[in-house]
Structure 1
């Protein structure tokens, strides 16, 4: 079965259920925390895929990934996913849920990656410029990547503007190699 199909089906079902019970935004925030936990602790995927771990232990592991105690709606969903042996898809389900929620609520995710930390004034100006360009609600994510050397990478949903020094050096290298 297509790996994108399973997470999307579960995410759609969770979103519909969350809307009916008025907890869509709360679950969206929980799914962002879950993704952060998977980024911080990549071993979560291995633990969830371990067949020797009991379903109740997997529920406890996933509950701890949400940080504090997840609400009952989310806990029941986690139990359903584990009962159906889809626990290896939990992160993908969370990401798919976030995408569905953002599309439904007209939210664009803006990721700004720089080589060093920017001060709040510069980030505020970038945010103001981005808000003028769209009628969507913007959700900002700031990342630091020292390999960029300088400059920045700006991603808005699936579009990307790469104005990093590292990117320019790669372009220059290709140009020099192709000019021989």
Structure 2
């Protein structure tokens, strides 16, 4: 069976289980944390896929990777994955859970890229105006990238608003090149 489809099904089931126990936000935060661990430690995924490592050891790996604040509900889910030999899908399930949670709560996650650090008031104002336009809640990761020179870039799902100075300068440069080609 397709691992992507498996991940979606397990993620939906986990969300439903979490909603029934009023723990969906708690599981969401654990999913975010565990996803970061997978990114920082690719060997974790390799270990979970390895058929030579016993399930008990894999359980210990997952618990250690999940941090100190692992919930009983999440432990039950881990045990279910191990029982059904689906621990190799854990990373995908965590990503799918985040997507399902965000859709159920009408949350858009994105990145706000600026040339310099901006104050929280400015970010709050920007979030408020965007939330009004997208009719949902916004969670932004702030990134400072001096190469954009000024302005900002906002990535939300598959949409990018590029109001950076570097893009505007490149646009002017491209127009200048086009005008000069016509002259020659």
Query: Aligned Cα RMSD in Å?
Result: 2.7
Matched pairs, number: 179
Cα distance, 1:166 vs structure 2: 5.7
Q: Which residue of 2 aligns with 1:95?
A: 95
Q: Which residue of 2 aligns with 1:77?
A: 77
Unaligned runs of 5+ in 1: none
Please, what TM-score do these two structures have when normalized by structure 2?
0.79
Question: Are 2:42 and 1:42 equivalent residues in the alignment?
Answer: yes
Report the Cα distance in structure 2 between the residues aligned to 1:78 and 1:173, rounded to whole angstroms: 54
1:148 and 1:164 in contact (8 A); partners too: yes
Question: CA-to-partner distance for each residue in 1:82-139, whole Å, 9 max, x for gaps?
Answer: 2322222111101111111111122122321234433323323322322332331222
Q: Which residue of 1 aligns with 2:110?
A: 110
Please, what TM-score do these two structures have when normalized by structure 1?
0.81
Cα distance, 1:40 vs structure 2: 2.9
Instruction: Indicate the structure (1 or 2) with the bigger Cα radius of gyration.
Output: 2
Q: Which residue of 1 aligns with 2:7?
A: 7
Unaligned runs of 5+ in 2: none
Cα distance, 1:30 vs structure 2: 1.2
1:63 and 1:69 in contact (8 A); partners too: no
Report the Cα distance in structure 2 between the residues aligned to 1:62 and 1:166, rounded to whole angstroms: 43
